[in-house]
Amino acid sequence: MSTPSAIPLQKSSLRYEISDWLSDQIVAGNYLPGQWLRQDDLASQLGVSQTPVREALDLLVSSGLAERVPYRGVRVLKVTQEQIVDIYILRLVLEMAVVRLAVSNIQPKQLERLYDILMQISGLSSVVEISQHRKLNKEFHQTIADASGNKQLKAQYEMASNRFPDWMLYDHIVRNPNLLEPIFIKELGEHRAIADAIASRDSDLAIEKTLEHLQGLGEDCANLIGVPIDLLRAKEAELDIKPITRKEN
């Protein structure tokens, strides 16, 4: 694992810039689940005092990407299989809500951004581009949450999304590059179907395509990182969510 390179920071909003930088590094896989984010090391690396680093770590914890362990410090979030299942179900519930609201409230510029993200993702095809793919994937879903028009729902969705262990899936792809093309193609098709449904203002179709996509992610969690698929399906059934077979493109 390479050491993340520092970036020049502006003093006016250091805590936010540091938090954003750390978020990017985590999403890119440069900091791994369970890895400690040492306040003094980060301050030295970035050439700043420890105060804005401490504030940035607080922001990172509140966003759900990191966790504070009493008397030990802050580390990148590391989740158990049971927690993955709980987070998956929470994301299902929140994603259905934000998609339904986005169908009614999305603005032309937000819809344009969704398709712009899809175009950028379609140009990514190599292992070295996985970090960029992760960022764009997260931005796609966050843009839909933004389009819901509900700030509180958006904040809750962002935290649930940050806690979803997609980094584990991408790490598995890095170690098994033969999986990259079929997974990328499948995800792109699912994202495009969601965007098209939102653009057509069809909330039922948008929710169906969203469920199809997220249940596909659930299958990936089962196949790639060993999360029990029976447990995922049982939790879905509690919400009266029926299994959706992931279609091949």
DSSP string, the chain: -PPPPP----GGGHHHHHHHHHHHHHHTTSS-TT-B--HHHHHHHHTS-HHHHHHHHHHHHHHTSEEEETTTEEEE----HHHHHHHHHHHHHHHHHHHHHHHHH--HHHHHHHHHHHHHHHT--SGGGHHHHHHHHHHHHHHHHHHT--HHHHHHHHHHHHHS-HHHHHHHHHH-GGGHHHHHHHHHHHHHHHHHHHHTT-HHHHHHHHHHHHHHHHHHHHHHH---HHHHHHHHHHTTPPP-PPPP-
pLDDT value at residue 249: 43
Going residue by residue through the chain, which has 249 residues, state the pLDDT in tens, using 9 for 90 and above: 556 666 555 555 899 999 989 987 886 678 888 999 999 999 999 999 999 999 999 999 987 789 999 999 999 988 888 889 999 999 999 999 999 999 999 999 999 999 999 999 999 888 778 878 888 998 999 999 999 999 999 999 988 887 887 767 877 887 788 888 898 999 999 999 999 999 999 999 999 999 999 999 999 999 988 999 999 999 999 988 887 655 544
pLDDT value at residue 95: 94
pLDDT value at residue 245: 58
pLDDT value at residue 44: 95
Would you tell me which CATH number, out of the four given (3.40.50.2300, 1.10.443.10, 3.40.50.620, 1.20.120.530), belongs to the domain 81-238? 1.20.120.530
This prediction has a pTM of 0.78
The domain segmentation of the chain, as residue ranges, is 11-76, 81-238
Would you tell me which CATH number, out of the four given (1.10.10.10, 3.30.70.1350, 3.30.9.10, 1.10.3210.10), belongs to the domain 11-76? 1.10.10.10
pLDDT value at residue 47: 93
